[in-house]
Amino acid sequence: MLLIIEKCLTVYLLSKNRAALNVLWLVQMRLLDRYIAKQVFVSAIFSVTVILVILILGNVFKEILRELDKRPDLSLGFVFRFIALVVPISLSLAIPFSFLTSILLTFGRLSADSEFIAMRMSGQSIWRICLPIGVLALFFTVICGWFNLSITPAAKTEMEGMKASVINMVKREPLLIFPDQAVMDDIDGHLVYARKGENSLHAFQMIKLENGLPEALVVARKAEVSVNLEEGVPELVFDFTDFNMMTKGQEGDFMAASQPIFFKSGQIGLKLPDNTNEDVRDQPDNISLRRLTRIIGEEGIEPEKRAAYRTELSTRMAFSVSCLMFGLIGVPLGITAQRRESTAGFVIALTIAISYYVLLITAQMHNTNEAMFPHLLVWVPNLLCLGLGLFLFWRLSRK
């Protein structure tokens, strides 16, 4: 209604003073731009916060609680560090979806309250009304690009290296790796069960596996644990008291006449898995942008690896501009839906986001098949969104 009154005032001023008309038009546009931008931006920030909390809690319950259940001695610093690494990874997923949701909610309400009709009656084109959405889309695209191209790969590498961090903690406190009265399988080819004491393990049992089958069994009343760092690969050293050992005989069982062998004391060393994470750092989604472009340009790289690296680079860029595509779709859908309630907008946003991610994941499944041009396939969801958005805008502008 306010915009209609301003329109009437504008017609009156047109016959009186052209300069006053221009000033009024500029003020009107600035108020309109700020109003729309504020509504969308505030809704987007709220949506990002909600989705971020959900994703963080999901990762915490999935990863951290499992580790805490096995190793209750893990410090809070370990937990906070994990959460800090989850935040940028979650933001890269939450921002596009939140932006789409905020557009659908805002323009759905504007359309339902006839505010959008008032804007059109004041002489504004659909493209001019959506100008602040375009500015916000560019802003969120830059933010997503920064996260996808720089921050998220580093966070993923650090998160994948959390197991290596556990090993480093074991080097400082060897007993930390052993859960109390539960099976520990962090050492390849070995299963360990013991009751944790203050500085040692009691009722110690260890099974050595070969091809998934038991090869040797060690049972000890007490075991003190230390780490030998003198050699290249760290070694976990067990100092046993009152222990016996059984090995599989030629008959394929442990029931040989010479077994078990009893010892008053003894020592056994096991090589620790030295997780330097070279393989993790070489995963395409964990590589920095500079290194990724350098690897793609290298001579003699295997075609499958080159295709995977090129697909990863294209995926990061394609996903970064998804905010622009979602903005192009969200405005006409929000106006057409004409819903005040948040449920309808959320359902529409969820449907679009799921369809987009499914298409993107489908393209990534062929990332090593160079013949299918996977680095181009990942752009298909954006092209579909672009075509659909332009069609919806064209149809809306004709009404």
Report for 60-64, 104-108, 166-170: range of highest mean pLDDT: 104-108
Nearest to 178 by CA among 112, 117, 226, 245: 226
Element holding 202 (H helix, E strand) = strand 201-210
- Average pLDDT over the chain reads 77
pLDDT at 39: 87
Distance of CA 120 to the CA centre of its chain: 41
**Residue bearing the bigger pLDDT, 364 or 281:** 364
pLDDT at 274: 56
Residues 309 and 49: their CA atoms lie apart, in Å, by: 32
Count other Cβ atoms within 10 Å, centred on residue 334.
Answer: 28
Give the distance between the most distant pair of CA atoms in the chain: 116
pLDDT at 24: 45
**Residue bearing the bigger pLDDT, 125 or 84:** 84
Taking CA atoms, 154 is separated from 86, 157, 276, 283, 295, in Å, by 11, 5, 15, 12, 17
- Given pLDDT bands bounded at 50, 70 and 90, which one contains residue 339? low
Q: In whole angstroms, how large is the CA radius of gyration of the chain?
A: 31
For residue 339, what are the contacts with CB-CB under 8 A and spacing of at least 6?
A: 108, 109, 112, 345
Candidate from 17-21, 85-89, 104-108 with smallest mean pLDDT: 17-21
Candidate from 23-37, 118-132, 321-335, 364-378 with smallest mean pLDDT: 23-37
Tell me the two tokens of residue 261.
Answer: 């062998």
pLDDT at 392: 83
Mean pLDDT of all residues in 219-230: 83
- Given pLDDT bands bounded at 50, 70 and 90, which one contains residue 11? low
pLDDT at 2: 46
Taking CA atoms, 139 is separated from 95, 132, 150, 206, 335, in Å, by 11, 11, 17, 57, 22
For residue 266, what are the contacts with CB-CB under 8 A and spacing of at least 6?
A: 239, 240, 243
**Residue bearing the bigger pLDDT, 145 or 396:** 145
- Given pLDDT bands bounded at 50, 70 and 90, which one contains residue 398? confident
Between the CA atoms of 185, 189, 195 and 196, what dihedral angle is there, to the nearest 10 degrees? -70
pLDDT at 123: 72
DSSP category for residue 175: G
pLDDT digits 0-9 by tens, 121-169 = 777 777 788 888 888 999 999 999 999 888 888 888 887 766 555 566 6
Let me know: does 313 contact 287? Beta carbons within 8 Å.
Answer: no
Indicate the pTM of the whole model.
Answer: 0.68
Let me know: does 32 contact 129? Beta carbons within 8 Å.
Answer: yes
> Does 18 have pLDDT greater than 60?
no
The sign one gets for the Cα dihedral 75, 76, 79, 80 is: negative
Cis preceding linkage at 260, omega within 30: yes
pLDDT digits 0-9 by tens, 234-262 = 778 888 888 888 887 666 666 555 567 78
pLDDT at 21: 44
Nearest to 105 by CA among 287, 289, 337, 393: 337
Mean pLDDT of all residues in 362-370: 82
Q: In what order do the strands lie in the sheet with 261-271?
A: 190-196, 201-210, 213-228, 235-247, 261-271
- Given pLDDT bands bounded at 50, 70 and 90, which one contains residue 290? confident
**DSSP 3-state of 243:** strand
- Given pLDDT bands bounded at 50, 70 and 90, which one contains residue 172? low
Mean pLDDT of all residues in 63-72: 66
> Does 182 have pLDDT greater than 60?
yes
Report for 214-223, 240-249, 274-283, 284-293: range of highest mean pLDDT: 214-223
Candidate from 15-29, 40-54, 152-166, 203-217 with smallest mean pLDDT: 15-29
